[in-house]
Amino acid sequence: MKDLISGINKVFENRVRLGIMSVLMVNDSYDFNNLKKTLNVTDGNLASHLKALEEKGMIKVNKRFIGRKPNTNYSVTIKGIADFKQHLKALENLIKDQ
Amino acid sequence: METDNKSIEDIRTIRKIMEESSRFLSLSGLSGVFAGVTAIAGALVAYFFILNNGSIHFDEYFRSHLAKETIMLRWQLMADAAVVLALSVLFALYFSFKKAKRDGVNFWTPVSKRLLINLLIPLVTGGVFILVLIFQNHIQLIVTCFLIFYGLALVNAGKFTFDEVFYLGILEIITGLICALLPGWSLIFWIIGFGVLHIIYGLVMFRKYEK
């Protein structure tokens, strides 16, 4: 049992963070506003979870300007891909084990 | 047991978000049916009104006459095709907007934009190429080009929407290639490719996803 649970990554345990990772796993990059729309969360909530994922090295942030408007793009890092896959595997194992 | 339920819930959420954010699922089967009906109507107009009940043989007539003498016919056929295209696109957008609204999802998302770009690159290439063919008097392969480029566009766009779009694209390409082998049958292949295939596709999609 211990081995199975060890794959569960605390960083991804929150629903919003799971959502962010799910979107970024299947898209090269996604911007803040579209993430907000897709996940249906508030600005502050999304921003704090993005910050947390960034600090853990799971995602990278790319800020740029489109015309005069700032646009913040997010994409997943290699570490993020590996860790998230491991987390998924652990979730699946938990279910199978039951 | 509780962690177990939570894991199942988590995985379900992940799957749903992955699918919704990487595929455009608001495409309605009804737009396929409508496009098919319009295409057949357009072909009938071409046959009975523009080509004079078929007495003007599409392919041979154009090849045996100077481009100048058939310019009026060319414009009429192009106008006919343009009307079919415009109506199909308008109704496809209309039905998709409606479906997106009903499902409570956004219409303009990064994935719908990507879908559009991937669809338009082969489509516009084909469109321009066909115009060149028309004015350089290479009439015989026009319908083939319509079908092949449209099929390639669908294959390309299929990655961003339902898998069935990919297979519809393959069928359009095959129809186009067979059409190339049978000169003079263009109108029939137009009806099969843009009419019949669209209607079948539309009905299948409607029954599968929207009932």
CATH class of A2-97: mainly alpha
* Chain B residue numbers touching A23 (CB-CB < 8 A): 17-18, 21
| Closest CA of chain B from A12, distance in Å | 10
In a domain, B11, yes or no: no
Average pLDDT score over residue span B82-100: 92
What's the mean pLDDT when you consider all of chain A?
A: 87
| Residue with tokens 């934009």, as numbered in its chain | B113
* Domain span including residue B97: 27-209
- List Cα–Cα distances, B121 to B110, B118, B127, B150, in angstroms: 17, 6, 10, 10
Reply yes or no on whether the pLDDT at A4 is more than 60.
no
| Closest CA of chain A from B63, distance in Å | 49
Give the pLDDT confidence score for residue A21 in this predicted structure: 95
Comparing A71-85, B17-31, B69-83, B180-194, the range with the smallest average pLDDT is B69-83
Give the pLDDT confidence score for residue A60 in this predicted structure: 95
H/E stretch holding A97: helix A78-97
Task: Please state, as a whole number, how many other Cβ atoms lie within 10 Å of the Cβ of residue B133.
Answer: 16
- Using an 8 Å Cβ cutoff, are B199 and B34 in contact? no
pTM for the model:
0.81
Q: Is B117 on the interface with A (CB under 8 A)?
A: no
* Chain B residue numbers touching A84 (CB-CB < 8 A): none
Give the pLDDT confidence score for residue B3 in this predicted structure: 63
| Closest CA of chain A from B109, distance in Å | 7
Q: Is B13 on the interface with A (CB under 8 A)?
A: yes
**Based on the structure, what is the number of domains in chain B?**
1
In a domain, B115, yes or no: yes
In a domain, B106, yes or no: yes
Q: Is B111 on the interface with A (CB under 8 A)?
A: yes
Give the pLDDT confidence score for residue B130 in this predicted structure: 92
Give the pLDDT confidence score for residue A70 in this predicted structure: 87
- Residue-wise pLDDT for B46-89, tens only, equals 888 887 766 666 556 666 666 666 778 888 888 999 999 999 99
Contact flag B10-A98 (C-beta cutoff 8 Å): no
- Using an 8 Å Cβ cutoff, are A60 and A53 in contact? no
In a domain, B94, yes or no: yes
Reply yes or no on whether the pLDDT at A1 is more than 50.
no
- List Cα–Cα distances, A37 to A69, B25, B109, in angstroms: 18, 16, 9
From the list B153, B144, B196, B193, the residue with the least C-alpha distance to B37 is: B196
From the list B41, B61, B40, the residue with the least C-alpha distance to B52 is: B61
- CB-nearest to B21 from A26, A88, A92 is A26
Reply yes or no on whether the pLDDT at A7 is more than 90.
no
DSSP class of residue A56?
T
- CB-nearest to B14 from A18, A34, A94 is A18
- CB-nearest to A22 from B18, B109, B111 is B18
Q: Is B106 on the interface with A (CB under 8 A)?
A: yes
Handedness of CA B8, B12, B15, B17 (dihedral sign): negative
Q: What percent of chain A has pLDDT over 90?
A: 52
In a domain, B125, yes or no: yes
Confidence of residue B176 (pLDDT cuts 50, 70, 90): very high
For residues B178 and B63, the model is more confident at B178
Give the pLDDT confidence score for residue B55 in this predicted structure: 63
Interface pTM (ipTM) of the complex?
Answer: 0.78
Contact flag A23-B17 (C-beta cutoff 8 Å): yes
In a domain, B148, yes or no: yes
Contact flag A88-B14 (C-beta cutoff 8 Å): yes
In a domain, B194, yes or no: yes
Q: So where are chain A's domains?
A: 2-97
- Residue-wise pLDDT for B114-146, tens only, equals 999 999 999 999 999 998 988 887 888 899 999
